[in-house]
């Protein structure tokens, strides 16, 4: 869970976009009243542990003593990666569009958990190499019908494409905000995107590349060794300067879905949404977003610790404290969706639990 900001990495540079994001630091004026309300519930002080921190945190985001979630949504961004054709994944690239069809049919893990916990699911084609045609349940935000280029030989996207993806993600979330959504999950699908996330994590956090690269969709030892070698080749090819800005890094190594997720998260914080942060890919998007607007960190709750090794470096850099550690590495926003009812429980006790006064229960002896 995000409770306080940590310093930005020394190399990070804040950049300005044609679409400006204004994310103010959280106002702590209500903190004393929120804490008094929490402490006056019929329980020993601090006995609900992390739930008490969540209640205060969401109350601070919404600037109310009675925070509530409305119209929760999981946005699943889909795109293909040119580098995936080089054998970075255990699965073929066609799985990306096939999984989009699975989402649209309601059969994926993200759909199952969203139905269980009452979240809407919206699927966004950010750049899948497939023609889906006009579909009622699919948002066509395709930046390129060919996916990104291979960062093994050239930047994955142009700066203009990267900015377009960020802007489109922001536009989608601003639309959700007008519909009353105030709690957001961003998920993804895209064969090869754990490789992109590994590269972004390496560059943004300065963690050794070998510590950022995991098995993704289930690579064996030989596949993992090949993935590490290819990503090292990409880093050497790019030779990014230490002061490279967030858009330069995203354009070099990112995916359209990751850039779009970054824009979605930025717009979510701008609209005072509570951002439920998923695993490795989603957090790579948050890393980029935090380099664009550092205050975004204060609107986040880190929902689970991914089994991907690079996630630990991400969470440390962002000052996060994940709620769950279940060995998950599916993506799609599943970890955040599973954690959503825990966050709802924090609001439930704050809003509905009796106080010592209302219940006529004796309070602590001073």
Residue 78 vs residues 99, 196, 253: alpha-carbon distances, Å:
9, 14, 16
Give the pLDDT of residue 266. 98
Averages of pLDDT over runs of 10 residues in the chain (366 residues) are 38 45 94 97 95 98 98 98 85 93 97 98 97 92 96 96 97 97 97 94 96 83 86 92 94 97 98 97 98 97 94 96 94 97 98 86 63
How many C-beta neighbours within 10 Å does residue 270 have? 21
The predicted-structure confidence for 217-252, as pLDDT tens digits, reads as follows 777 888 788 888 899 999 999 999 989 999 999 999
Distance CA 108, CA 93 (A): 17
Question: Following DSSP, what letter does each residue of 202-249 receive, concatenated?
Answer: HHHH---GGGT---TTT--HHHHHHHHHHHHHHHHHH---TT--HHHH
Per the CB < 8 A criterion, the answer to whether 296 and 330 are in contact is no
Q: How far is Cα 150 from Cα 278, in angstroms, rounded to an integer?
A: 26
Distance between CA 184 and CA 21 in Å, rounded? 17
SS3 193: helix
321 catalytic? Reply is no
Catalytic one among 257, 293, 308, 332?
332
CA 2, 7, 211, 286 dihedral sign is positive
pLDDT at 91: 81
* Nearest partner of 206 among 313, 279, 282, judged by Cα: 313
User: What does the pLDDT read at residue 365?
Assistant: 59
pTM above 0.75, yes or no: yes
Is residue 100 within 8 A of residue 106, CB to CB? The reply is no
pLDDT at 7: 29
Domains contained in the chain, CATH given: 73-332 (3.40.50.10210)
Q: What is the end-to-end Cα distance of the chain in Å, rounded? A: 32
pLDDT at 362: 63
Q: Provide the pLDDT for residue 190.
A: 95
224-228's contacts with Cβ under 8 Å and 24+ in sequence apart are: 226/87, 226/88, 227/88, 227/195
The contacts of residue 153 (CB under 8 Å, 6+ apart) are 237
The reported pLDDT for the residue numbered 1 is: 56
Integer Cα distance of 74 and 185 in angstroms: 4
Q: Which residues pair with 124 in a beta bridge?
A: 77, 139
Integer angstrom CA distances of residue 258 from 84, 97, 157: 15, 16, 12
């Amino acid at each position: 869970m995000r409770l306080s900001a940590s310093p930005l990495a020394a190399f990070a540079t804040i950049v300005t976009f044609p679409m400006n994001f204004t994310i103010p630091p959280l106002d702590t004026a209500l903190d004393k009243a929120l804490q008094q309300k929490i402490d006056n519930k019929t329980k020993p002080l601090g006995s609900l542990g992390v739930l008490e921190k969540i209640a205060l945190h969401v109350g601070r985001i919404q600037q109310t003593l009675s925070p509530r979630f409305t119209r929760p949504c999981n946005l699943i961004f889909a795109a293909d990666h040119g580098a995936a054709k080089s054998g970075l994944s255990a699965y073929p690239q066609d799985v990306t569009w096939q999984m989009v069809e699975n989402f649209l049919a309601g059969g994926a893990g993200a759909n199952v958990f969203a139905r269980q916990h009452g979240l809407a699911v919206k699927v966004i084609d950010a750049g899948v190499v497939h023609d889906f045609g006009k579909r009622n349940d699919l948002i066509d935000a395709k930046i390129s019908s060919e996916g990104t280029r291979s960062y093994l030989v050239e930047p994955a996207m142009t700066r203009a494409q990267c900015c377009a993806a960020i802007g489109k993600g922001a536009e989608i979330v601003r639309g959700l905000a007008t519909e009353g959504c105030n709690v957001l999950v961003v998920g993804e699908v895209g064969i090869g995107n754990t490789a992109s996330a590994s590269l972004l994590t390496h560059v943004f956090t300065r963690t050794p590349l070998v510590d950022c690269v995991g098995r993704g969709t289930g690579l064996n030892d030989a596949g993992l060794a090949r993935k590490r070698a290819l990503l090292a080749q990409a880093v050497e090819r790019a030779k990014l300067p230490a002061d490279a800005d967030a858009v330069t890094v995203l354009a070099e190594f990112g995916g359209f879905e990751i850039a779009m997720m970054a824009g979605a998260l930025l717009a979510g914080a701008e609209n005072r949404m509570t951002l439920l942060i998923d695993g490795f890919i989603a957090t790579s998007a948050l890393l980029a977003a935090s380099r664009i607007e550092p205050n975004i960190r204060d609107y986040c709750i880190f929902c689970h610790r991914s089994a991907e090794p690079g996630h630990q470096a991400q969470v440390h850099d962002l000052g996060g404290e994940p709620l769950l550690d279940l060995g998950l590495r599916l993506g799609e926003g599943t970890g955040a969706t599973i954690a959503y009812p825990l966050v709802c429980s924090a609001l439930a006790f704050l809003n509905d639990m009796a106080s010592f006064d209302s219940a006529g229960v004796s309070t602590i002896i001073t």
